[in-house]
Chain A
Amino acid sequence: MNSEPGWGAISALLIVIAVSVWLGTLAQRAIQRGKFLTGYFLGNRGLGAWALALTATVQSGGTFMGYPSLVYTHGWIVALWIGSYMVVPITGFGALGKRFAQLSRRTGAITVPDLLRIRFGSPAVGLISSLFIIAFMSSMMVAQFKAGAIVMKLSLPGNAALALSEEGGVDPAYYIGLAVFTLTVVGYTLIGGFLASVWTDLFQSVLMLIGVMILFFLVVPLVPGEPMQRATLEAVGNTGPNYAFGPGFSADGRQFLPVGLAFSFFVVWIFGGAGSPAGQVRLMASHDTPTIRRSMVLLAFYNTLIYLPLLIICVASRSILPNLASSDELIPRLSMWATRDIPGGSFVSGLILAAPFGAVMATVSTYLVVIASGVVRDVYLRFIRPHAGQTEVRRVSQGVMIFFGLFSVALNINPVAYLQAIVIFSTSSVAATLLVPTLMAAYWRRATVPGAICAMIVGSATTMALFGAGWWMAWQGYDQEYGLKTAFRPYFLAGLEPIVWGLAASFVSGVVVSLLTRPPDAKLVSWLFDRQPEQSDDSGGRSSR
């Protein structure tokens, strides 16, 4: 079997880069039609159903890299690990979507801290939330630069390795990858802002769906007989009975997914997604309520066509490629193997390989926009130059993006370690910080400024403390024998992920402190919670059923 990606991969990658830059220029034209800040950071509140469905909740980078590797390694139990995606369409859009879109319009907010600041009538709430978001998302973004550089490096002809592995040395190809990745993603985000990020995200999501469908129809029929039964029994024979059951197979005897962690992942994926400012800002940008409803329908089918087929493909691959040394190589190797005999197979496999690259680009682009909007809107315009003109704001926005791009490159000259751990830590922390205050802001009149601040600080502190305790214990040689064995694993208090405790602590402290402090300004609350004079009874054509 050919073990190198060859020219097909690099050709496909160049096409993805070209399309991304082209989308950036299209986005630039689109945002010129409105005011700069709303256009550049919120796409003039005009996101359609496809863009909203496939970019607000889909965690696409991990979908095409981490998830297949986990299925191949640990077996059918990963179905339970990812199972909560069955409710993501309605939790992602039904819980906060409509209210958030309304509040952001009524207040004119274009960032999440902006909305919190106005809702609570407190610059402190806005500043604290903004600083948390900038800190957590910056660390997440820095880690993604490494991933982008490695995918680019591995796609260069002559590289035998195919996996997004954190191991392996740094060589000139890595720096070429880092340079190309940075120039591309910072470049098109600079040009097109929020819309460029959304459209490239949408593009790679479609690319990923095509890749999964191609793999499904090429791989599964190649397993003779009853494919899944055969593949499962072969895997059980090669590994052990836990490949077919919980808590999943692990070569080192760890419990991959005990029941407590299984429950945790029904919290992680749902509340982690709902608490992400990158997703929340896209809800704020949705065009109208029919858009939100259509997004829900689209996402229900999209998730089904991605996650269930990938589960089948990856278990079936146990029969085709039973002894992969590195499970991270599964999708690249499978794509090359499956397309080896079809015309243009190299290019098709290249397209499949390009999906992770597009996914990482889209992720970085999203974070760049959120971070830049936080710095410009919530810090620069609020505390440094409140009356800055449009030209100045544009320059500062672009300067912030360039700064964070260069900052990320500088930190990756010696690549950051523990990429996956940083991503999980940042995702959990930002959700534990923001979700409860945003829910309080949207639905609870009695929520107060001290309550919101307390919810943020206690939620983040709880999560960080559990991660810190786990890291410290790992260095001391203590191992709970749960989950993945990484050096930066958290402490699973009562067998649960830190985000569960972070959210619980955030919720309790936010509610208790709000009830113990003076009620908020009645006029401000009435403005956001009561019917306003300009509102009519007409609900837009569709009434309650």
Chain B
Amino acid sequence: MPPEDPVLTSSRREALVVLVVWVVATAWSVGYCALAGYGRDPASLTFVLWFPDWVFWGIVAPWFVCIAISLWFALVFMRDEDLGSSADADADGDGLDRPEAEPGHE
């Protein structure tokens, strides 16, 4: 059996990291805001850098953490790969499909 396509391997690894980041960001933001931002006494409201405290810690702070994660992901973690040459065909030449390239049509 031939080895797995390296682009698939790295893409799947990266997609799993993306999934984890989404889960953690969602859990933190929704969880924190639900606990600290709903049904509070207005007298308890404080501000952090122009934002209500619960917005700052629930949305703004994780937002900047996510920027840092995005930079790490894009500049360090994600692999550059050769995406391969395009098998584009056109209607003026050999018809619509690429039957010669598709195993099912051999």
Q: Which residues of A contact B (CB under 8 A)?
A: 35-38, 45, 76-77, 79-80, 83-84, 86-87, 89-91, 94-96, 98-99, 101-102, 104-108, 110, 118, 121, 226-229, 232, 236, 241, 244-247, 259, 262-263, 266, 270, 288-290, 292-294, 296-297, 299-301, 304, 308, 312, 377, 381-382, 386-393, 442-443, 521, 523-524, 526-532, 534-545
| Contact partners of B82 in chain A: CB under 8 A | 535-536, 538-540
| Contact partners of B37 in chain A: CB under 8 A | 76-77, 80, 245-246
Question: Contact at B90–A312, with CB atoms within 8 Å?
Answer: no
* Nearest neighbor of B76 in chain A, beta-carbon distance: A545
| Contact partners of B81 in chain A: CB under 8 A | 98, 102, 289, 539-540
Among A99, A110, A262, A545, contact of B8 (Cβ-Cβ < 8 Å): A99
User: How far is A35 from B87 in the complex, measured between Cα atoms in Å?
Assistant: 12
User: How far is A499 from B92 in the complex, measured between Cα atoms in Å?
Assistant: 41
A524 to chain B, nearest CB (A): 5
Question: Contact at A531–B92, with CB atoms within 8 Å?
Answer: no
User: How far is A90 from B80 in the complex, measured between Cα atoms in Å?
Assistant: 15
Among B26, B39, B78, B93, contact of A289 (Cβ-Cβ < 8 Å): B78
| Contact partners of B80 in chain A: CB under 8 A | 288-290, 293, 539-542
| Contact partners of B42 in chain A: CB under 8 A | 236, 241, 244-245
Question: Contact at B7–A98, with CB atoms within 8 Å?
Answer: yes
Known: A107-B87, A226-B47, A246-B37. A308 touches B63 (CB 8 A): yes
- Of A36, A301, A535, the most chain B CB neighbours within 10 A belong to A535
User: How far is A538 from B7 in the complex, measured between Cα atoms in Å?
Assistant: 11
| Contact partners of B17 in chain A: CB under 8 A | 94
| Contact partners of B66 in chain A: CB under 8 A | 86-87, 89-90, 300
A95 to chain B, nearest CB (A): 5
Among A121, A227, A245, A312, contact of B39 (Cβ-Cβ < 8 Å): A245
B48 to chain A, nearest CB (A): 10
Question: Contact at B84–A527, with CB atoms within 8 Å?
Answer: no
B47 to chain A, nearest CB (A): 5
Among B51, B67, B86, contact of A301 (Cβ-Cβ < 8 Å): B67
* Nearest neighbor of B104 in chain A, beta-carbon distance: A121
Q: Return the CB mask of B11-53 against A: 1 if under 8 Å, else 0.
A: 1101101110110011001100110011111100101001110
- Of A246, A393, A521, the most chain B CB neighbours within 10 A belong to A246
- Beyond A232-B47, A263-B26, list 8 extra A-B contacts (CB 8 Å): A79-B59, A89-B66, A98-B11, A105-B86, A245-B54, A262-B34, A540-B81, A540-B82
- Of A35, A312, A389, the most chain B CB neighbours within 10 A belong to A35
Among B11, B12, B30, contact of A262 (Cβ-Cβ < 8 Å): B30
* Nearest neighbor of B51 in chain A, beta-carbon distance: A228
For chain B, the bracket of interface size reads: 35 or more
Question: Contact at A80–B30, with CB atoms within 8 Å?
Answer: yes
Question: Contact at A87–B87, with CB atoms within 8 Å?
Answer: no
Known: A80-B37, A289-B83, A544-B79. A87 touches B21 (CB 8 A): yes
Q: Return the CB mask of B83-100 against A: 1 if under 8 Å, else 0.
A: 111111111110111100
| Contact partners of B6 in chain A: CB under 8 A | 531, 535, 537, 539
- Of A300, A542, A543, the most chain B CB neighbours within 10 A belong to A300
| Contact partners of A84 in chain B: CB under 8 A | 25-26, 29
Known: A102-B7, A535-B5. A110 touches B78 (CB 8 A): no
Known: A297-B74, A539-B6. A108 touches B86 (CB 8 A): yes
25 contacts between A and B (CB under 8 A): A36-B90, A37-B88, A76-B37, A79-B60, A90-B73, A94-B73, A96-B15, A99-B11, A108-B89, A121-B102, A232-B52, A244-B42, A266-B29, A270-B22, A289-B81, A297-B75, A300-B67, A443-B8, A443-B15, A530-B1, A535-B6, A537-B6, A538-B82, A540-B80, A544-B79
- Of A45, A79, A393, A527, the most chain B CB neighbours within 10 A belong to A79
Question: Contact at A390–B47, with CB atoms within 8 Å?
Answer: no
Question: Contact at B2–A38, with CB atoms within 8 Å?
Answer: no
Known: A293-B74, A296-B70, A536-B82. A530 touches B5 (CB 8 A): yes
Among B52, B85, B102, contact of A118 (Cβ-Cβ < 8 Å): B102
User: How far is A382 from B82 in the complex, measured between Cα atoms in Å?
Assistant: 30
| Contact partners of A388 in chain B: CB under 8 A | 91
Known: A105-B84, A289-B80, A539-B6. A442 touches B11 (CB 8 A): yes
A391 to chain B, nearest CB (A): 8
A337 to chain B, nearest CB (A): 21
| Contact partners of A241 in chain B: CB under 8 A | 40-42
User: How far is A377 from B97 in the complex, measured between Cα atoms in Å?
Assistant: 10
Question: Contact at B74–A83, with CB atoms within 8 Å?
Answer: no
| Contact partners of B11 in chain A: CB under 8 A | 98-99, 102, 442-443
User: How far is A541 from B82 in the complex, measured between Cα atoms in Å?
Assistant: 9
Known: A90-B18, A94-B14, A98-B11. A529 touches B5 (CB 8 A): yes
Question: Contact at B52–A76, with CB atoms within 8 Å?
Answer: yes
User: How far is A104 from B7 in the complex, measured between Cα atoms in Å?
Assistant: 13
* Nearest neighbor of A523 in chain B, beta-carbon distance: B103
* Nearest neighbor of B50 in chain A, beta-carbon distance: A228
